[in-house]
Amino acid sequence: MKSEKLKMGEKVAYGLGDLGNGLMFQFAQLFLLKFYTDVLQIPAYWGGLIFLIAKFFDAFVDTSVGAFVDSRKHISKRGKFRPYILYGLLFLGIATVACFITPNFSETGRIVYAFVTYNIMGFFYSVVNIPYGSLAAAMTMDSGDRTSLAAARNLTGQMAALLTGAVVIPMVAIFATPKIGYISTVALFAAAGVISQILCYTGTHERIIDHTPRKKGDGVKSIKGLLTNRPFIILSIFTILSVGSMFLKMGIQLYYFQYVLGQVGLVSLVSLLSALSIIPAVIFATPLVKKIGKKNVAIYATIGFIIAELVNFFVTGRQVVPYLVVNTISYMFLGFSGTVAFAFVNDVIEYGQLQTGIRSEGIIYSGYSFVRKIAQGVAGFIPGLALTMTGYVANQQQSASTISGISAVYFLIPAIASAISCLVFYFGYDLTDEKHDAIVKELEEQKAVQKMDEESDNSEGNVILGSLEAETTDAGVINHPQG
C-alpha cells in the first residue's frame, strides 16, 4: 500500500476529470427541464417524471458498472479505473448533445425521445463517472491528500457550474432561435468536457491496486458487506438529504429568478458567486480536517447552510442584493460539506476491506453514486411536481400560490432536509479520522503478515525442492557405475 504524497499537478489533473463531467452533467442538470418545458414543449410534470425515472435507472447502472469494474481479473498497465474514462468519454459527449435535439415529433413522441436520450446519457455518465470517483482511492491512502483531491474535484465541479450558469443563456441568445442555440452551445460544452477528461486520464496514476485474484462469490460478498457497512449506510442517508437539497435548488433556481425576483439573467451572477464561494473550502478544508476532523467539518458546514437558507426564506429572499449575499454564504458552507463528502467514501472503502477482506472500490463508490442518483432523481421530480400542483404556466405571469411554492421548494425544503441529515450524521456516523487511521494501520499489518507467510512458503518450497534434487543426485552417483 503506497502512501507517497501526491504532487499538485496530479491533483489538478484529477480535478479536470470532474470539470469534464460537470460541463456535460451540469448543463443537463441546470437547463434540461427548462429546455423540456419551453423548447421541446412537453408538460413540466413529464419533464420531472423523466428525471425521476431516469435517475433510478442510472442508480442501478451505477451499481452494475461498479461490480463489473471490481470483477476484472486482468488489470492492464493503464490501471483498473482509468481505461473506462478513456473509452467512455466520447460516447458521453455524443449522448449529451443528443439530449438537446428537438425532433419534429408529436407530444408523445417528444416525451419518449426525451426519456430515451436522457437515459442513454445517464448510462455513459455512469461508465465514466464510477471509475473516476473510484480512482481517488487508488491514487493515495493519505487522509490529507484525499481531502485535497476532493477539494480539487469540488472546485472544478463548481467551475463547471459557473461556466454553464454564466455562459449558456447568453450563448443561446446569440442564435436565431433557442432550438439552434441550445444544440450549438451544448456541442461546444461537450467537446470541452471530452478534452478535460482526456487530460485527467493522462495526468493521474493508480498506486493502490489489489491484484488478489477474484474468487467466485466475491462480488456477492462485497455487496452484502456494503449493505452491512454502518458508516456507508449513515453516509448514504446524509447524502440523500443533503445532496438532494443542493440539486433541488439547482432544479428550481431558474424559475425563482424569473418569476420571483423578475431577473432570469441572475443565473450568470449567481453561478459566478457560487463558484467563488467554493474557494474558502479549497483553501481551508484540508487544514480544518486536520484540526477538527471531517465529521465536524461536515456537520458545522451543514448547520451554516441551514441557517442561511432560513434567513433567505423568511427575511432576504425577495430582495436581490440581500438574497445574493446570503445565498453566497449558503454556498460557501455547501463547499465545505461537499468537499469532505467524497473523502468519506474513500474511508468507507478501507472500512469495508477490513470487514470483508476484499477491496471493492467500484462497488462501494457505485453504491454511493446510487444514493446520489436517487437524491438527484427525487430532487429533479419535486420541482416539476410542485410547478404542476401550484398552477405553473410556461412563459406567463404566475399566481401568488405558484410564487409561494417556488420559494418553499428553493429555500424551505432544502433547509428541513439538511437539518434531518445533520442529526442522522451526528448521532450515527462513527468512522472518525482516528478510527480510519487505525484501520489503515491494521490493513498494512495484515499485508505485511501475508507477505511474510508467502515468503516463508516459498522458502519451505525451495528447501523441499533442494532436498529432492540432492536425493536424485545421490541416487545418480550410486547407480551410475551399474549403468
- pLDDT tens string, the chain, 483 residues long: the values are 445 678 999 999 999 999 999 999 889 888 888 889 888 989 888 888 888 788 778 778 887 888 888 777 677 778 888 999 999 999 999 999 999 999 989 999 999 999 999 999 999 999 999 899 889 888 988 777 888 888 888 888 878 877 887 788 889 999 989 899 999 999 999 999 999 999 999 999 988 776 565 566 566 777 777 788 899 999 999 988 988 888 889 888 988 999 999 998 888 788 788 878 888 987 888 889 889 988 999 999 999 999 999 999 999 999 999 999 999 999 999 889 888 887 888 888 888 888 888 877 778 878 887 888 778 777 877 887 888 888 888 778 888 888 998 999 999 999 999 999 999 999 999 998 889 889 988 988 887 887 776 666 666 655 555 555 555 445 444 344 333
Q: Which residue has the cell 425544503?
A: 413
Q: Where are the alpha helices (DSSP H) in 140-278?
A: 143-174, 178-203, 218-227, 230-259, 266-277
Task: Give the Cα separation of 212 and 65 in Å (integer).
Answer: 20
Task: Give the Cα separation of 403 and 407 in Å (integer).
Answer: 6
E-state strands within 320-400: none
At residue 246's C-alpha, the angle toward residues 286 and 22, to 5°, is: 75
Q: Where are the domains of the chain?
A: 8-445
Report CA-CA distances (Å) from 155 to 119, 276, 441. 27, 9, 31
Report the candidate in 341, 346, 340 with the shortest Cα–Cα distance to residue 360.
346
Report the candidate in 143, 294, 204 with the shortest Cα–Cα distance to residue 12.
204
Report the candidate in 31, 35, 454 with the shortest Cα–Cα distance to residue 250.
31
**How many H helices and E strands in the chain?**
16, 0
- Total Cβ atoms within 10 A of residue 260: 18
CA Rg, the chain, in Å? Answer: 26
Contact at 8 Å (CB) between 363 and 220? no
**CB neighbour list of residue 39: distance below 8 Å, 6 or more residues apart:** 102, 178, 179, 182
Task: Give the Cα separation of 375 and 115 in Å (integer).
Answer: 18
Task: Give the Cα separation of 256 and 263 in Å (integer).
Answer: 9
Task: Give the Cα separation of 107 and 112 in Å (integer).
Answer: 9
Report CA-CA distances (Å) from 62 to 12, 59, 97, 128. 25, 5, 21, 10
Distance of CA 396 to the CA centre of its chain: 36
* pLDDT value for 466: 56
**CB neighbour list of residue 202: distance below 8 Å, 6 or more residues apart:** 13
Residues of 205-220 as b/e, b for ≥16 C-beta within 10 angstroms? Answer: ebebebeeeeeeebbe
Task: Give the Cα separation of 27 and 50 in Å (integer).
Answer: 16
- Total Cβ atoms within 10 A of residue 55: 24
CA dihedral 114, 59, 412, 383 (to 10 degrees): 10
At residue 436's C-alpha, the angle toward residues 450 and 339, to 5°, is: 130
Domain boundaries 8-445, corresponding CATH code: 1.20.1250.20
Report the candidate in 287, 321, 281 with the shortest Cα–Cα distance to residue 301.
281
Question: Does the reported pTM lie above 0.75?
Answer: no
Report the candidate in 89, 84, 380, 147 with the shortest Cα–Cα distance to residue 253.
380
